[in-house]
Amino acid sequence: MAEFTFNWNLALVGLYGLLGWLVTRTIYRLYFHPLHKIPGPRLAAATHIVEFYYDVVKGGKYIWEIERMHAKYGPIVRINPRQIHINDPEFYEQIYAGSKSTRDKDTSYPPRLSASLSVISTIPHNHHRLRRSVMNRFFSKQSVVNLEPIIQDKTDKLADHFEAAHQRGTVLKMEYAFSALTADVITHYCYGTSYRYLEDQFPENDLRDAFGGLFLLNHILYFFPPVSKFLNNVPPKVMQFIDPKSSVMAFVRGRLYKQSVETLQQPKVTSNKQRETIFDALLDPSLPPSEKTVERLTEEGFILLGAGSETTANTMALAAYHLTKNKLVLEKLRAELKQVMPSPKSSPCWSDLEQLPYLTAVINETLRLAIGGSWRLPRVSPNEALVYENYVIPAGTPMITASYFVHMNPIIFPNPEKFDPDRWIRAHESGERLSRFIVSFSKGTRQCIGINMAYAELYLVIARIVRQFDLELCETTEENVRFARDYVVPHAENGPWSVKARIIKVIEE
C-alpha cells in the first residue's frame, strides 16, 4: 500500500489563496462595491459576521443593532454587504411599490419559509404576478364577505369554549385559543374542510407550536439554506422521533400533499353546491403546466395556513391583553358595540362593524403594536435606480424598511409604546390619514394576500369577545408581550408572546 504524505506546501498555497481572496473581497466591498458610499459600520459592510452574531448567536437581536446604526449614522444604513435599511416611513411606498413599479424579492428570502415554490417566495416580479393573479379573487373583499358565516361559526365555537372555561375557572392561553380559530377558518376556506382545532385540540394547539418551531429556525435557514431542503425531506415518523412538536409540520405537509394529488387526479367539479378550494384556483386554465405540480400546490397550501393563522392570532391575543389592562378603553368600546350588538351573542356583519370608529381605532392601534411580521422583507428594483436624499440606490439592491420602524416612529405616533386608540380618533377629526402608516400586511404588489380575511376576523372576533366576556390576566405582564426578539413574528425576551387569562364574567345582556 502506498504511503500517504501530506503536502504542506500545497496546503499553504491553498491557505494563502483563501486569505488573498478574503482580503480582496473585503477591499472590494468597502471601497468599490456599488453600496460603498452608504453609511454604516465597516464590519457589517465587509462581512455578514455582525448580522450572524446578533440574529443567530444572540437570537433575533439584529433589529436592535440596526436601530442603533440609525441613531449613529442616519436614516439610511448598510446592514450587510448586500442590503440597506431605510428608517423613513415616507419612503416606505418607494420600496414596497405598487403596480406601476417592478419589485423583485431578494434571493435570500425563499429558504426562510421552507416553501420556495409559493407565491410569497417567488422572486421575479412577473412570475409573482402570474401566480398571484389566480388567487386574488379567492381573497377579494367580496369573497371574504361570503366567508363571514364560516368566521361566525368558528367564533360561536370559541365563545362556547370561553363559557365552559368560565364555569371551570380555567386559565386560557389566549394566543392558542385564537390560533385554533384562525387555523380552522383558513383550512375550512382554503382546503374545503376544517382541521378542527377548536373541536379536537382546544385549549392546546400543536400547529401553533409547530409554526413556532419553524420561526425559531428562520435565521438558521437564512444563513444555511440547505437546511430548509433537508427539513422538507425528513419523513414524518422520523421527525416524530426527533421532535414531536415539529413533526406536526411534516404531517400537515403530508396531508396537503395528498389533497394536492387528489385535486390533480380528479376532474374539476363545477357545481354551485361544491365551493372552490385554493387547490382548484391554483389549477386555473390560464396557468402553464409547470405551475400545476403537486409540490407547488402543497407549498402554497402550507404557506397559506401559516400566514393565515399565526399573525392574526397574535394580534387578537394582544388586543385581549391591552383591553383587559385598560378598563376605560374596554368600557368605551363595549358601549359602542351595543349599537350593533344589542345582545352579547348578536352576529353583526363585518361591514356594520367597520363603521364603528372606536372599534376601528382599537384594531388599528393593536395592529400597530403587534407589528405583524417582524422580520426584514427586502425588495429589489431590478431595472431602476432609486434616490434617497443624496444617496443613489443602484438597481438590484435589496432595500428594507422593517415594519417596526414605521409603527414605532415617535414623530408619526407620539409615545409609540403606549396603547392609545384615541390617537386614531384625534387623527380622523383633524383629517390626518394615519392608517397609511399601518404596514402590518406590507404594501404594494406583494402586500399580504390575506389582508381582507385578517381584518374580517379581527372585527368579528374582537367584537364578540369584548361584548360577551370579562377577562382577568393571569401571570401576564407587559414583558410577556414586549417585542424583544425577531423570529418572523415578535417574541418576548424569554419566548413567544403569551397572554394568559381567566374568564371572570359572561355578560348576559
Q: Which residues are annotated as a binding site for heme?
A: 448
Q: Are 176 and 203 in contact (CB under 8 A)?
A: yes
Task: Work out whether strand 84-86 and strand 398-400 pair parallel, antiparallel, or are unpaired.
Answer: parallel
Residues contacting residue 229 through CB under 8 Å, at least 6 positions apart: none
DSSP state of 4: P
Largest CA distance in the chain: 92
CA distance 125 to 395: 14
CA distance 277 to 265: 15
Lookup: cell for 346: 348578536
> Which amino acid type is present at position 437?
F
Question: What value does the CA radius of gyration of the chain take, rounded to a whole number of Å?
Answer: 24
In the beta sheet, which residues pair with residue 85?
Answer: 77, 400
Tell me the angle at which helices 310-325 and 357-370 cross, rounded to the nearest 10 degrees: 110
Query: What is the DSSP annotation of 228-262?
Result: HHHHHHS-HHHHHHH-HHHHHHHHHHHHHHHHHHH
CA distance 219 to 59: 8
CA distance 446 to 128: 8
Q: Are 64 and 26 in contact (CB under 8 A)?
A: no
CA distance 345 to 466: 11
Evaluated on CA atoms 11, 13, 14, 15, the torsion sign reads positive
Within 421-481, where are the H helices?
Answer: 422-429, 451-468
CA distance 453 to 312: 9
Q: How far apart are the first and last CA of the chain?
A: 92
Instruction: Output phi, psi for 386, to 5 deg.
Output: -110, 160
Residue found by looking up cell 402586500 in the block: 447
* Closest-CA residue to 280 (of 297, 302, 303, 255): 297
* Closest-CA residue to 250 (of 315, 302, 198): 302
How far is Cα of residue 471 from the mean position of the Cα atoms in its chain? 27
Question: Residue 509 half-sphere exposure, CB side, CA atoms within 13 Å?
Answer: 0
Residues in binding site: 448
CA distance 168 to 373: 35
CA distance 161 to 163: 5
